[in-house]
Amino acid sequence: MYCIVDIETTGNGIKGNKITEISIFKYDGHEIVDEFTSLVDPECEIPYFITRLTGIDNDTVRNAPTIDAIADTILKFTEGTIFVAHSVNFDYHIIKNELRNNGRDFIRKKLCTVRLSRKLVPGYHSYSLGKLCSALGIPLTDRHRARGDAHATALLFGKLLRADGADKVFKAFLNARSQEATLPASLPREAFERIPATPGVYYFKDAKGKIIYVGKAIDLKKRVLGHFYDKSTKEVRLCADTADIDFELSGSDLLALLMESAAIKHHYPAYNRAQKKRIQPYGIFAYEDRSGIVHLAYNQLKMAPNALVTFYNPTDCRLFLEQMCTTFDLCPKYCHLQENVKTCSHFRIDSCAGICRDSEPISDYNAKVALAIKGMSLKKEDFIIKEKGRHIDEEAFVLVRNNVYSGYGFIEKEIELNSYADVEAFVIPQKSTVETESIIKSYLNGNSGKKIRVLDERLLEENRF
């Protein structure tokens, strides 16, 4: 026995969504044998956009029963049946959540008429209820009302039961180990099955092929499946919009993190929240004024000639320059920590020897600035990080030049790298961002030097990669 279900809601996401109307048709495989339809008082305001779509407003449900009043009826009516709906996960989890909030458990086997239709009547551009009914000649009246949509879904379900190959498909979908009821309605099972259980980056795409979410995982298949089990509002909406999933192998978590960051910056997916903000880089640079005094200053990187050190916000630049002042007895005025002052008076720095008061020789001050610049330069390193490749005969590497992330690459194990040119021939160039800088620093702090190879010509000759 089947129960074909449709609901109308307040449209406030899975956890905040309240039912305003419910319709259930009991179907024995041949005909409709019973029906339960009711308006429902959601005990909250119904948004105007929902009223425009369904025609249901606050006055419509004013005298309707609450979900608590009809909960036992729903449980009894659907007991021992298979729960059927168009995009079943939406209706099922709204009802399950509403009943749970009223102290009732709701567990039923599920079938999705979207997924069944994609399998049994393939080839249609859209599997929305309206377009599918139109294509198959199924009457659909009172659209976007629970009874009208549920009745049309029941007629569609009857056609699917009698379609060629239906017995095999229904049996597979109802198999306890089957993931059909878990997968998003618009996602072909084949798209999920081709995802491997290896490290990489995955891309959720909508019906137009646009990337709407980027993620990374050590086990791609397991992580992607986790999205389908997560019933938070964001995840349900993401899965509802997902029509395809693509992926790239990375070989390791480090490469996956870097690839994910680059993909988010490039595609700017609608469902990604982190890493989408474009952060402006800043550079520390030096210049000599008309008096011959060498200044240290900071500006946006595109305005900082020959930047000595790069940061991603002005605060870090100022803190770094404060540290330089303290370490090398530099003047806050000539490090641009204090502007438009005759002499320095920084509240944290009192080590200035008097260059701003004409009591320190310019040559002596410039010598200290030169030491500070040398100190910055000494910290610059070129190195590669070795990681696992995408298959057994391959290795991956991350290239860092002058302490700046430059890109990553994959190389067959049998190939020898003996020079910078050899390394760079395999590099996929990437932009350094605050996120990639954080990823690299976190990796270096948590790993021994076994995977890190300093790059200079002598070491490359002695230690082949």
For 44-95, write each residue's pLDDT tens digit.
999 998 999 899 999 999 999 999 999 999 999 999 999 999 989 889 989 9
pLDDT tier at 313 (50, 70, 90 boundaries)? confident
Reported confidence tier of residue 462, pLDDT bands at 50, 70, 90 = very low
Helices and strands, number each (H, E), in the chain: 16, 16
Last residue of a domain, one of 236, 267, 298: 267
Considering the domain architecture, whether residues 237 and 361 belong to the same structural domain is answered as no
- CA-to-CA distance for 381 and 288, rounded, in angstroms? 27
> CB-based contacts of 29: which residues, under 8 Å, 6+ apart?
1, 2, 161
Q: Are 182 and 225 in contact (CB under 8 A)?
A: yes
Residue 280 pLDDT: 77
Instruction: Specify whether 156 is located in the same domain as 223.
Output: no
The CATH number covering residue 236 comes to 3.40.1440.10
The answer on pLDDT for 449 being more than 80 is: no
Above 50 in pLDDT, residue 21?
yes
| pLDDT of 252 strictly over 80 | yes
Instruction: Judge if 90 and 109 occupy the same domain.
Output: yes
Domain end position, chosen among 322, 354, 378: 378
Does residue 14 or residue 294 have the better pLDDT? 294
Residue 452 lies in a domain: yes
State the DSSP code for 124: -
> Same domain, yes or no, for 130 and 221?
no
Are both 150 and 223 inside the same structural domain? no
Q: Is there a single domain that holds both residue 326 and residue 458?
A: no
Residues 113 and 18 in one domain: yes
Number of domains, the chain: 4
Domain boundaries, position 260: 189-267
pLDDT band at 457 (very low <50, low <70, confident <90, very high): very low
Residue 349, in any domain of the structure: yes
pLDDT band at 305 (very low <50, low <70, confident <90, very high): confident
Residues 6+ apart with CB under 8 A from 40: 18, 19, 20, 21, 22, 61, 64, 65, 66, 67, 70
Segment 121-147 shows an average pLDDT of 91
410 assigned to some structural domain: yes
Residues 345, 438, single domain; the answer is no
**Is the pLDDT assigned to residue 403 strictly greater than 70?**
yes
pTM: 0.61
In a domain, 355, yes or no: yes
Measured distance between the N- and C-terminal CA atoms of the chain, rounded to whole angstroms: 65
Residue 277 lies in a domain: no
Predicted confidence (pLDDT) at residue 284 exceeds the cutoff of 50: yes
pLDDT of 460 above 90: no
**Is 23 a domain residue?**
yes
Count of residues in the chain = 465
pLDDT in tens, 188-212: 888 999 999 999 999 999 989 999 9
Residue 184 lies in a domain: no
**Average of pLDDT values for 387-398?**
92
Tens digit of pLDDT for each residue in 168-177? 989 888 875 6
Q: Are residues 143 and 123 in the same domain?
A: yes
The confidence score (pLDDT) of residue 370 equals: 95
In this structure, the answer to whether residues 70 and 108 fall within a common structural domain is yes
State the CATH number of the domain containing residue 97. 3.30.420.10
Query: For residues 348 and 264, what is the distance between their CA atoms, to the nearest angstrom?
Result: 40
Are both 82 and 25 inside the same structural domain?
A: yes
Whether 444 maps to a domain, the answer reads: yes
Same domain, 81 and 107: yes
pLDDT of 123 over the 50 cut:
yes
Q: Considering 325, 344, 378, which residue would you say is the last residue of a domain?
A: 378
Please tell me the least confidently modeled range out of 128-142, 327-341, 398-412, 415-429.
415-429
154 CB burial (10 A radius; 0-12, 13-18, 19+): buried
